Homo-oligomer: A and B are copies of this chain.
Amino acid sequence: MERPPKIGKNIQQLRNSQGFTLNVLSERSGVSKAMLSQIESDKVNPTVATVWKIAQGLSVEIHALLAGSVVPKRKFLINRYENITTLDTDAEGVHVHVLSPLSMVEDLEMYILSFEPKSRLDSEAHFPKTEEFLTVVKGHVRVKAGENVGDLKKGDFITYHCDVDHTIENIGNSEAKVHLVVRYNQQIDTTL
């Protein structure tokens, strides 16, 4: 996005798709229909509060209205096993395979983690709102996130927030392997 987003079309499209008239949306959102009309034709420069009220009336996130009409780039990227970068962690016996090359996706990272017997990976609290999604591919692991603990076996799935210290450890006596998705919600949280 190189210039301020034109949100008029987005709003109009959403309004029409839900079959709302300007009057209806005006009632639902608390924004005058005159303003709605002008916003839809990009004649004015609405405030955040107004756009937010419109989003409420349309039952969508404000992001949906601000999204620029960017032509989707059609992606088709293969990352071969032999090309996958393998990080050796500071933790003994833990190997990290980075599936998603950096900048492939804005806010998602995917890894395969392999744990030798009795090895563990300690992570400090990430940025607020970061969450991890872990699927056990092989073996037995224990996941701790803050106060919480869970033992998992092959095929189990867990999701947790990682704004607290968390660890993954191999509790079996053979190699363990997990598939890990980390989502960075780069939203700023002021409550911390």
Known: A5-B48, A47-B45, A48-B51. A79 touches B161 (CB 8 A): no
Chain B residue nearest in CB terms to A177: B137
A188 and B13 contact, CB distance less than 8 A: yes
A24 close to B (CB within 8 Å): no
A113 close to B (CB within 8 Å): no
Chain B residue nearest in CB terms to A6: B190
Number of copies: 2
Min CB–CB distance A188 → chain B (angstroms): 4
Chain B neighbourhood of A74, CB < 8 A: 145-146, 160-161, 163-164
Known: A161-B75, A188-B13, A188-B67. A154 touches B48 (CB 8 A): no
Question: How far, in angstroms, from A100 to B53 measured CA to CA in the complex?
Answer: 31
Which one of B4, B65, B70, B76 lies within 8 Å of A148 (CB-CB)?
A: B76
A7 close to B (CB within 8 Å): yes
Chain B neighbourhood of A69, CB < 8 A: 188-191
A63 close to B (CB within 8 Å): yes
Interface hub of A5, A67, A105, A164 (most chain B Cβ within 10 A): A67
